[in-house]
Amino acid sequence: MHNQKTIQQHVSLTGISITGEADARAMFCPAPPNTGIVFIRNDLPHRPKVKCLLKKAKVEYRWTSLVHGNVRIEHTEHALAAISGLDLDNLFIELEQPSLPVMPDYSSKDFAQALINAGVVQQPFDQEKIKIHKPIIVFKRGRFGDVKNEKLLIALPYDGFKLTYILDYPNLPQLSQAAEINITPDTFMKELAAARSFIIESEVEEVVKLTGKASSNVLIVKPGFEHGEWLWPNELARHKALDLLGDLSLLEKRIIGHVIGIRSGHQLNLELCKKIYKECKNDSFGETHAWYRGTNAGE
């Protein structure tokens, strides 16, 4: 049996908006059981709320956003990864601007530490889970420079929640690396939360146009890079797994399964979420329904 969780008290973080144009502030607040993750735009009339739902998710730039009518919540993946990695279920997140703050090291570490400092409390309601009963696959054929490649995501049955990410740029073999982590609050904090975002040197001009000074602390991978500058030799793959964790939380429920990403990004992450939702929601074979509350499945 796994209870839902929230935080004990309010906690705030300040950084810069994803577009690099202004400061950004977010306040994380306790929420009642079965609330889910709800964003509140305090800067807009009537303080509109946007619930973290897959049907509201969009990838229009290099990050994941939530869109409800004319109300936008930008750059959700790092905060959502922290919430999911710490196994939290119910939060209100109050914003004074469209964007979640980008923290100085472009990771989830500051979000996660703030939430831990706020205190995690259990709630007397069961978490809902999505159990992967059979392989679920999405892929996309594309190009990287002059080289054809495929982006691939696979969700497999597994007794737990594990993420694997394989980073592979066809024309940059020195960047090939993999990361594999069984996700628990402890392993998330030790192995994933601090993994920093990165861009390849050829992408710098494009990224700076989008994010301005928000891009100043992103790792830039250049020819002759040294692993000694990284927190782990596979830090880049770990960050892609971190992004994947944040995007998977758009399903609202904990996954029981093993998700493997190969060269995938935010857009394909959402495609996998949609396919998991569709196939698991309607999948009733086996001893339990694929979409269930923990105690009903005998946990």
**Backbone phi, psi, residue 232, to 5°:** -140, 155
Mean pLDDT (the chain) is: 87
Q: pLDDT tens-digit profile of 118-172?
A: 999 999 999 999 999 999 999 988 766 676 778 999 999 999 999 999 998 877 7
Whether 50 and 176 share a structural domain: no
Whether 34 and 107 share a structural domain: yes
Tell me the three state secondary structure of residue 28.
Answer: strand
Whether 135 and 37 share a structural domain: no
The strand pairing partners of 15, in sequence order, are 24
Q: Which of 127, 152, 186 is the last residue of a domain?
A: 127
> Which CATH number covers residue 241?
3.30.1700.10
Residue 37 belongs to what domain range? Answer: 3-127
Whether 142 and 260 share a structural domain: yes
Among the listed ranges 51-65, 80-94, 220-234, which one has the minimum average pLDDT value? 220-234
Tell me the three state secondary structure of residue 235.
Answer: helix
Q: How confident is the model at residue 190 (pLDDT cuts 50, 70, 90)?
A: very high
Tell me the three state secondary structure of residue 59.
Answer: coil
- 41 pLDDT more than 60: yes
Structural domains counted in the chain:
2
Whether 158 and 38 share a structural domain: no
Q: Angle 77-85/235-248 helices, nearest 10 degrees?
A: 80
Whether 293 and 162 share a structural domain: yes
Q: Which of 97, 127, 157 is the last residue of a domain?
A: 127
| Average pLDDT of the segment spanning 270-290 | 69
CB atoms within 10 A of CB 146: 7
CB atoms within 10 A of CB 33: 16
pTM of the model: 0.90
Half-sphere exposure (Cβ direction) of 201: Cα atoms closer than 13 Å: 7
Whether 86 and 200 share a structural domain: no
Whether 141 and 288 share a structural domain: yes
- 219 pLDDT more than 90: no
Tokens (6 digits) for 170: 């066809």
Whether 147 and 168 share a structural domain: yes
Whether 53 and 196 share a structural domain: no
| Pick from 156, 180, 172: nearest CA to 232 | 180
> Which CATH number covers residue 117?
3.30.230.20
Q: Which of 76, 100, 127 is the last residue of a domain?
A: 127
